[in-house]
Structure 1
């Protein structure tokens, strides 16, 4: 079950948070993991953990918003069986107080970064008449979240790209799905809270945790396990779908 032996996986943001957990879980299931990271230290640490556990991992320092860098990494790797678009950044702000610079920054990473990887990797999958793509969207794509204007915009775009790719390449035996996590406890979340709510860290953490009906944030391993399933042969009948993994946030908060 969920055997990825010999599968070549391209995981953006694969050195931290959900991306790291996905890299570790994929390697444990036999995949050859290529960690695509702008932070070389995070990538190296994750690769060491995988190798110490007997897995195979390679690191590629790459800014996914730069198409030329993505193109060069894809050419270096060659065949790619699985693409996981996990790299992303967040932002606090409404439409009237989000600066143009911040709006553009989120677009470049969260939207154009996904596009760049799709643009370069889909031709490889078409050539092989096989492939699986998993995009990380968010509950922000389907419900209104306070002060998350630009972030919600980007995740809505990711969800729309998912449906489009699934439709366009279904005859090429390429599956494309996305997941919509609610809040997940990662170092990114801790740093995000510390930066935006100094002095209120525990209060905000507890508030964010309690906003989910299940009463806590998700773990990166829980998210990675869903990604593993959707990228495995056991999910071969699933494409063009979005999966909430949200502790009941979407359905039970309404």
Structure 2
């Protein structure tokens, strides 16, 4: 189902717009990407990096977690690029090695669009939500969030002037302060706390690394995201399997990362023609 209006705008803003998102392995419920070395939480399941938590750690209740450091995730299996459409729309995902993924980046402009959450293609203003503008970026039209109801800073973004796709004038939109393509992966390091969105559980900027990090467990808990209960080495993660409750396509905590235990966990598909398997 194609998201429209405020629902689409809020979804993109909450799930994708982060100037320096936490490093992670992608989510178990959203499309997996190869265009960025970072991933941000969505309204489904948050993405986390492998923490220093032991794979055999148990929580205060004594509930065991799943042994093994590598998380099993619900992966979208495909045979062609058409399988990777969402609601009939081509949002840039391609069938790569049998999985729906974003192809490696080739330009800084492409990374600006991807890391700013400008996912929806357009050829004019009528194809974007009321809170968006159809701008020219990476030689194509993309729907970009404009400041108004929301401030760009609310999502760790900055105001930028970009040309409209159809027309000569420029328009003010919300985008990443810095985005670049390095070795096929999109990068967007933060330079201060203002570039880190508290709702992601990682509100502080570690300037040397350019990564947004958590400092205390409460940073993670305040995000309200499933699987975010503890801060280990600057990353939010789970401690026991029950921490993953409420997430999409997850039920097991693997060394701080919520994943799946079996195919039966993968109940919410993302792409039109790509069934999910736990692997």
TM-score bracket for this pair, using the shorter chain length:
under 0.3
Taking structure 2 as the reference length, the TM-score comes to 0.25
Bigger fraction of residues in helix: 1
State the structure with more CA Rg: 2
